[in-house]
Amino acid sequence: MFKVLIPTARRDILIGVNQVIMVCFSMAVISAFIGAKGLGFNLLLALNQLNIGLALEAGLCISLIAILLDKLSLAWANKQIDYFGNLTFFEQHKNSIFFGGAVLIGIILAFVGSFFFKEGFNYLYEIPHNKGISTADFWNRGVDWVWDTFFQTLKIFNTWLITEVLQPMRALYLRMPAVATLVLVIGAGYIIGGIRSALVVGGLTLFIALSPWWDRALVTTYMATFGVIISCIIGFTVGTLCFQNKYTTNFMLGVCDIFQTFPSFVYLIPVMMLFGVTDTSVLIAVIVYATIPATRYTIEGLRSVPASLHDAGSMSGVTKLQRLMRIEFPLAFPHMMLGLNQTIVFALFMVIIGAFIGTEDLGQYILKALSDKKGAGIGLTLGVCVAFIGLVFDHLIRTWVDQRKKHLGIS
Amino acid sequence: MEILKKYPKLFQWLFLLIVFFSLCFAIDVPETYKFIRGQAEFIKDPNQSTYTFFGAEVRYYAFDVFWRLPPLLGWLPIWINDSLFFLMNEWMPMEFWNENTQSYKTRPLVLQLTRNITAFMTFLIELIREVILGGVQTVVAFTSWDWIGANPWAKLPGLPWTIVAAGAVILGYNLSGKGLAIFAGIVMVYISIFGQWKPSMQTLSFILVAAPLSFIFGLGLGIAAFKSKRVEKALYPILLVMQTMPQYAVLVPAIVLFGVGDHAAVIITMVVAVPPMILLTLLGLRGIPPEVIEAGKNEWMH
């Protein structure tokens, strides 16, 4: 088992490790709600004082540590052990010796530092909070400047968006009768995956319909839908454009890493200052967060197109655009749809966090349950409702992707 | 007819949409409903019949069942609350030895279990935290507060940030090469120069507990699911729900079970981080070609 199977399955397990680390750091802020000390707590404190610069720095710390740990664990797993090298003692223990040296030097430095800095802060031992360099003022001034300069324009745009697009859309969603929605979902399940899919999807929807929060669930769905549409457009475009060049691809994947672990609360506050307590603020946060998987999976999907097909296309003399439209997109499409799947999950997650801004969906009720002594049951049921919304789409997309892959012969 | 045969799916979709929209138009908004607050919310007249269902009062929507289904699941949250309370405070009382009072004490099983897990987690977190930042909690865990009072020197000194940074650089260089070493150096120097050292290390301490634990649990459960179909069937739906569930929803039950603090954060993080690990382990093991498995079996025979 551990000698054969695990090493063979290493690639997927490594992705799993990556996911674990990313999730751990994305929980760093959320766990501050239940009393964990650390960066998340400081970040929330800074946000309470509306000190966005400070929160930004703390957020950046979280992303950087996350990426560092992720890279280290990947490198550790990928490392090849050289069994045959005939090494001297020094070569074998090179790293331990260096580390021992570093420990010695560090202790000496800290000791010297205790004579050097008399004010009570030994900078070579530990730089205390609020005594380091800070760029907080710069960022705060930046946010103020944006506020002063663009407020009027943004206000006009915001009013237009809310009255012309968002409110009619919400009214449409709320206007759907429960039975019609059920018929639509079950029918879609039947067309895509047959009777079994229809039953699964219908059951999930029925649970939400029978819970007392059907209206709220519809509002959640409306916000998630709007966010997903916009982020898919942005993500697919950016991903395709970046894929044309190797360096931009790597750069974009790095940006995705940073944004995925960057605590969303940090940009929630400036956005809220600019757009007020409206759905627009929530949707902008949703779009920022949900664009990440859309971009990432577009790039990964285009990458998964075999190079031989690529060359075959070039040989028969198609232009770059034709190759993209006729060969790469159809083949990468199933993979991209998995990206859409992730986009929906991310969007739902962010819509729920949007409750802090003040929405009227399921998230608001979860937030209320958080401060309620007897909120455990309500919180769990609402969580399951949100999960079921996601799972309906997840199931439909997954079934479709499986069939499509079989059809294309790349499963 | 030709087109119909060529694209059967297209016509199925069209038919579905027609049915959906005709239903939408056929079922009118009931008169008891009205929009309020800029079409943001529906409200319903309070003059309606109610009835009790499992001890809870549930509204009964007699005439507009097509419009909104009756909330038959209204009892579920209350039931979950009650069963959690029962589990924590009444189920299976047992006698446990209490170190502090030197006597046996009757406590429910689950409460005792969660308290033990809590103590274990707290110990691990404190250990890592004090290796990096310094303190006395770990020494106390092995001895006692009185002993610390008698021996004031017994205190873990924290590592200076220079050492941790150097360690990260060396590790990066050893594992991957120059690029990673430089990146590690930049990250560490950034953290300490910007004065975020202490909170960063606090965060790191509970993540260094949570990440390996969730890796181990995820790998173990993934292998178990790979080996036995029954485990897999039981796990799979739970995993799917857990993966799409927003993390906030798990916070409340975790507070009820484990209280508030760093240990609860570890547990929450594990609850969220384990499902993707299990799924990916399973995916990886499934992807192994059968020949490799056979070869492995032969290898074990010799």
- Residue-by-residue DSSP string for A79-121: PPP-SS----HHHHTHHHHHHHHHHHHHHHHHHHHHHH--SS-
The answer to whether A69 contacts chain B (CB < 8 Å) is yes
Interface touch A39/B196, C-beta < 8 Å = yes
Task: For residue range B256-300, list pLDDT tens digits in order.
Answer: 888 888 888 888 888 888 888 888 888 888 877 777 777 766 665
- Residue A377, CA atoms < 13 Å, CB-side half-sphere: 15
DSSP assignment, residue B72? Answer: G
Q: Among residues 44-73 of chain B, which lie with CB inside 8 Å of chain A?
A: 66-73
**CB of B180 closer than 8 Å to CB of B239:** no
Question: How far, in Å, CA of A373 to CA of A38, rounded?
Answer: 25
Cβ–Cβ contact A293 with B under 8 A: no
Which tens digit of pLDDT belongs to each residue from A317-339? 777 777 777 777 777 777 788 78
Instruction: Tell me how far apart the alpha carbons of residues A366 and A358 are, in angstroms, rounded to a whole number.
Output: 12
DSSP tag of B62: S
Q: Whole-model pTM? A: 0.81
Task: Tell me the nearest-neighbour CA distance from A88 into chain B, angstroms.
Answer: 17
> What's the full length of chain A, in residues?
411
Parse chain A into domains and list their residue ranges: 153-175+211-411
A87 contacts chain B (CB < 8 A): no
The distance in angstroms from the start CA to the end CA of chain B is 65
CB atoms within 10 A of CB A128: 14
Whether A302 contacts A244, CB under 8 Å: no
Cα separations (Å) of B94 from A334, A380, B87, B109, B113?
55, 29, 13, 6, 11
pLDDT confidence tier of residue B13, bands split at 50, 70 and 90: confident
CA distance A362 to A374: 17
CB within 8 Å of A180: residues ≥ 6 apart: B20, B23, B24, B27
**Residues B24, A167: C-beta atoms closer than 8 Å:** no
Is residue A203 less than 8 Å (CB to CB) from chain B?
Answer: no
A contacts of B223 (beta carbons < 8 Å): 1
CA A181 vs. chain centroid, Å, equals 29
Six token digits for residue A302: 């285009």
Measure the CA–CA gap between B220 and B201, rounded to whole angstroms: 29
Could A65 and B223 be called an inter-chain contact, meaning their C-beta atoms sit closer than 8 Å? Answer: no
**pLDDT of residue B39 exceeding 50:** no
Q: Determine what percent of chain B is predicted with pLDDT higher than 90.
A: 0
- Write the pLDDT tens digit of every residue in A146-186: 878 888 888 888 888 888 888 888 888 888 888 888 889 99
CA A173/CA A195 separation, integer angstroms = 26
Place of tokens 């950046």: A60
Between CA A355 and CA A282 the distance in angstroms is: 8
User: With an 8 Å Cβ cutoff, are A167 and B76 in contact?
Assistant: no
Four-way CATH pick for A153-175+211-411: 2.60.120.260, 1.10.3720.10, 2.40.10.10, 1.10.150.20: 1.10.3720.10
- B196 with A107: Cβ contact below 8 A: no
Residue type, B154: A
| pLDDT digit string, tens, across residues A135-155 | 777 878 887 888 788 888 888
End-to-end, the C-alpha distance of chain A in Å comes to: 25
CB-based contact A12 B281, cutoff 8 Å: yes
Residue B199: predicted pLDDT? 82
Q: Choose, out of A41, A126, A265, A411, the residue to mutate when testing the contact with B (most B CBs < 10 Å).
A: A126
CA A327 to chain centre: 29
Residue from the list A24, A99, A106 with its beta carbon closest to the beta carbon of B269: A24
Question: Which amino acid type is present at position A344?
Answer: I
By the 8 A CB rule, do A377 and B79 touch?
Answer: yes
HSE at residue A242, side-chain half, CA atoms within 13 A, is 25
The contacts of residue A313 (CB under 8 Å, 6+ apart) are: A322, A323, A326, A327
Which of B28, B164, B207, B226 to probe the A interface (max A CBs under 10 A)? Answer: B207
Measured distance CA(B146)–CA(A230) in Å, rounded: 62
Of A65, A106, A191, the CB nearest to B166: A106
In contact, A290 and A347? CB cutoff 8 Å: yes
Contact B81, B257 (CB under 8 A): no
Inform me whether the pLDDT recorded for B40 exceeds 50.
no
Of all helices (H) and strands (E), which one includes residue A60?
helix A52-78
Q: Do A34 and B183 touch (CB under 8 A)?
A: no
Give B139 to chain A, closest Cα distance, Å.
21
pLDDT at B38: 47
Nearest chain B residue (CA) to A31? B265
Confidence bin at B223 (pLDDT 50/70/90): confident
Nearest residue in chain A measured CA to CA from B165: A102
Which tokens go with B301?
């025979």
Residue that has been written with the tokens 């223990």 in this structure: A93
Closest chain A C-alpha to B54 CA, distance in angstroms: 15
Give the pLDDT of residue B157.
66
Q: How many CB pairs under 8 A join A and B?
A: 388
For the question of an ipTM over 0.85, the answer is no
The answer to whether A381 contacts B76, with C-beta atoms less than 8 Å apart, is yes
Tokens at residue B62, please?
A: 């007699």
Quick check: A400 contacting B, CB < 8 Å? Answer: no
For B244, which residue in chain A has the nearest alpha carbon? A387
Do A39 and B249 lie within an 8 Å CB cutoff?
Answer: no
A370 in Cβ contact with A33 (< 8 Å):
yes
Cβ separation A30–B251 shorter than 8 A: yes
Cβ partners under 8 Å of residue A298, min gap 6:
A235, A236, A238, A239, A240, A243, A332, A336, A339
Instruction: Give the phi and the psi of residue A334 in degrees, each rounded to 5.
Output: -60, -40
CB contact under 8 A, B197 and A126: yes
Mean pLDDT value across chain B:
76
- Is the CB of residue A214 less than 8 Å from the CB of residue A177? no
Position A233 scores a pLDDT of 92
Q: Residues B54-76: what's their mean pLDDT?
A: 66
Predicted pLDDT at B185: 85
- For B104, list phi and psi in degrees, rounded to 5: -85, 145
The segments of chain A whose pLDDT lies below 70 read: 1-4, 79-95, 109-133, 409-411
Q: Identify the helix (H) or strand (E) that includes residue B57.
A: strand B56-59
Q: Is the pLDDT of residue B152 over 70?
A: no
Q: CA-CA distances (angstroms) from residue B14 to A335, B17, B26, B45?
A: 26, 5, 18, 37
pLDDT computed for residue A234 by the predictor: 92
Q: For residue B33, report the phi and psi dihedrals to the nearest 5 degrees.
A: -90, 150
**Å from B275 to nearest chain A CA?**
9
Q: Which two tokens stand for residue A96?
A: 């331990």
Q: How many CB atoms lie within 10 A of CB A83?
A: 5
Is B23 within 8 Å of A19 when comparing Cβ atoms?
Answer: no
Alpha carbon distance A276, B302 (integer Å): 71
Mean pLDDT of the region B96-124: 77
Chain B residue closest to A71 (CA)?
A: B180
Interface touch A376/B253, C-beta < 8 Å: yes
Q: Could you tell me if A6 and B189 are in contact, meaning their C-beta atoms sit under 8 angstroms apart?
A: no
Mean pLDDT, rounded, for B205-212: 85
DSSP string, B195-260: T-HHHHHHHHHHHHHHHHHHHHHHHHHHHHHHH-HHHHHHHHHHHHHHHHS-HHHHHHHHHHHH-S
* Phi and psi, residue B105, nearest 5°: -140, 140
Chain-chain contact of A106 with B247 (C-beta, under 8 angstroms): no
Residues on chain B touching A166 (C-beta within 8 angstroms): none
Is A16 close to B240, i.e. CB distance below 8 A? no
HSE value, Cβ hemisphere, 13 Å, CA-based, for B240: 18
Structure-token match 């205190």, residue found: B155
CA–CA separation, B270 vs B268, rounded Å?
A: 5
B187 and A CB contact within 8 Å: yes
The amino acid at A26: S
- For residue B53, give the H/E element and its range: strand B50-53
Q: Which residues pair with B50 in a beta bridge?
A: B59
Q: Which A positions 17-46 lie with beta carbon below 8 A of chain B?
A: 17, 19-21, 23-25, 27-28, 30-42
What pLDDT is recorded for position A227?
Answer: 92
Amino acid at A368: K
